[in-house]
Copies of this chain bind each other. A is one copy, B any other.
Amino acid sequence: MRAPDELRALVEGAIAELELTSELGALAVPMRYALEGGKRIRGTICLATAEAAGCLPTEAIPAAVALECLHAFSLVHDDLPALDDDDERRGRPSAHVAFGEGVAVLAGDGLLAEALRLALGYDDQEIARELAVSTLGMIGGQHLDITRAQVDLAELHRLKTGRLFAASVGLGTRVAGLTDTEQAPWRAFADELGLLFQVVDDVLDGDGYAERLGAEGARRLADEAAERARARLGEIEADTDTLAAIVDELAVRTG
């Protein structure tokens, strides 16, 4: 099993070499800008899952890159003034600050469509289907986030963050050819992993669960989610060491 950093480097290299559709023309520039600098958590989880589930991690690279394109799409549109209005992203000006709002809207659109095009490169159409449905859930979550003052945090996060984490694991198992029944324990793991990620995110940002439960309460919730994620991995009959290392990383991350 390759270590998380080795898989991360694979994702990073594939993004650097990604051939965007030529008809996008100069829109490729803001799209690449939006893809730069991410931690590649989703792509790395996808490769780690695929390898643990029995295939070469390289087979999962198009799926991993598609997940990172979708994540970048969601950030570009979330950052827009009419949504979260964030001027900075990954330590640089957000896409709309660097390229203007109109171009940022189109760059996000392009990333969404490219993600699905990449997923459609697999013979197994279920891969693109899962990605499309996950994207729709994520968009629904973002809508909940900007429109409701009093919202069920668990439901919001299950959609806005959780759907893409679930897809990261789900696509990895699909690329490896696992049946729906075989995928079930992996998906139970993915749910805890998504929750872990989100709660730690809220602790770092001082909002969401940290606001609701206090920093200490949220920290405890994160530890419990990490514990359950490890327990779920223990129930899977495969070498899940790399996924366990990813759980450890997510539990202690500071940025």
Binding site for B on A (CB under 8 A): 21, 23-27, 73, 77, 80-83, 100-106, 108-110, 112-114, 116-117, 120, 123, 125, 128-129, 132-133, 135-137, 139-144, 146-147, 159, 163
Contact = CB atoms under 8 A, between A and B. Distances in A.
Contacts of A139: 24, 27, 106, 109-110, 113
Contacts of A101: 80-82
B143 A117 contact: no
A137 B21 contact: yes
A117 B105 contact: no
Number of copies: 2
A110 B136 contact: yes
B110 A83 contact: no
A97 to B, nearest CB: 13
A105 B120 contact: no
A109 B74 CA distance: 10
28 contacts: A21-B133, A23-B133, A23-B136, A23-B137, A24-B139, A24-B140, A24-B143, A26-B143, A26-B147, A27-B139, A77-B106, A77-B109, A80-B102, A81-B101, A82-B102, A83-B105, A83-B106, A103-B143, A109-B109, A109-B139, A113-B136, A116-B128, A117-B129, A117-B132, A120-B128, A120-B129, A120-B132, A128-B128
A79 to B, nearest CB: 11
A114 B144 CA distance: 18
Nearest to A82: B101
Given A24-B136, A116-B128, A128-B128, 18 more contacts: A21-B136, A21-B140, A26-B143, A27-B143, A80-B102, A80-B105, A82-B105, A102-B146, A108-B109, A109-B109, A112-B112, A112-B113, A113-B136, A113-B139, A116-B116, A120-B128, A120-B132, A125-B128
B113 A147 contact: no
Contacts of A135: 113
A126 B140 CA distance: 27
A73 B125 CA distance: 23
Contacts of A116: 113, 116, 128, 132
A220 to B, nearest CB: 29
A159 B23 contact: yes
A143 B112 contact: no
A152 to B, nearest CB: 11
A135 B111 CA distance: 11
